Structure 1
Amino acid sequence: MGDSSASYIHTVQHLIEKCLVFNMTREECMEALSKHANIKPVITSTVWKELEKANKTFFEEYSRRRGESVGEMETRERVLKMLADSSRESNG
């Protein structure tokens, strides 16, 4: 475990941060990482929740802002492609 576990969690955190840039919900992020980066939803959810604990104010504001705006499908498709590309870079 050790270093490889920390590296994996860091990779998941990095991918979650990319989802946040594109205004995705936790569920959307879990689905995207599962589909495009082969990360189990429970892992994404756990890391997301830990990020929420560590950054409570940010996530409160993120949730508020997210409720005010809805992303377009085209943007989400670009995000999914970007996540897939990032996953390939991280894994290979």
Structure 2
Amino acid sequence: MGDSSSASYIHMVQHLIEKCIIFHMSKEECMEALSKHANIKPVITSTVWKELEKENKDFFQEYARSRGEEGKSEEQASQKIQKTLSDSSSAARDSDN
């Protein structure tokens, strides 16, 4: 991968993480969903997530607090996001070609 394609890939992973956050998924749920539905290695998702946490500490502290109150199930969130992830990753792959 060249620098621009690496940056593009990381940007795509960040975008998919943001979609997971919309569905109130934990980091672990997001890692599993992206691995299963977008074929992204969990270590990559984890690394990008950690960088996002560093850059947005206040947001992630509030996000963790709100997730504790809501407690959506992984299965429910995974079902909702499956189509979105498939569509987003397909579109990203198409734009790279």
TM-score interval, smaller chain? over 0.9
Contact 2:53 2:60 in 1 (8 A): yes
Residue 18, structure 1, aligned to residue 52, structure 2: no
TM-superposed CA distance for 1:71, in Å, is 2.1
Q: Aligned equivalents of 1:75 and 1:32: distance in 2?
A: 9
**Which of the numbers 70, 88, 91 marks the counterpart of 1:89?**
91
Report the equivalent of 1:71: 72
Q: Under a length normalisation based on structure 1, what TM-score does the superposition of the two structures give?
A: 0.93
Report the equivalent of 2:61: 60
Q: Aligned equivalents of 2:3 and 2:54: distance in 1?
A: 22
Q: Aligned equivalents of 1:76 and 1:39: distance in 2?
A: 15
More displaced 10-residue stretch of structure 1: 74-83 or 62-71: 74-83
Q: Give the percent of matched residue pairs that are identical in Structure 1 and Structure 2.
A: 64
TM-superposed CA distance for 1:35, in Å, is 0.7
Report the equivalent of 1:41: 42
Question: Any idea what the Cα deviations from partners look like across 1:3-28, whole Å, max 9, x if unmatched?
Answer: 11110000000000000000000010
- Structure 2, unmatched stretches of 5+, are none
Q: 1:75 to 1:41 in 2, by over 3 A?
A: closer
Q: Aligned equivalents of 2:12 and 2:78: distance in 1?
A: 20
TM-superposed CA distance for 1:43, in Å, is 0.3
Report the equivalent of 2:82: 80
| Aligned residue identity for 1:60 | Q
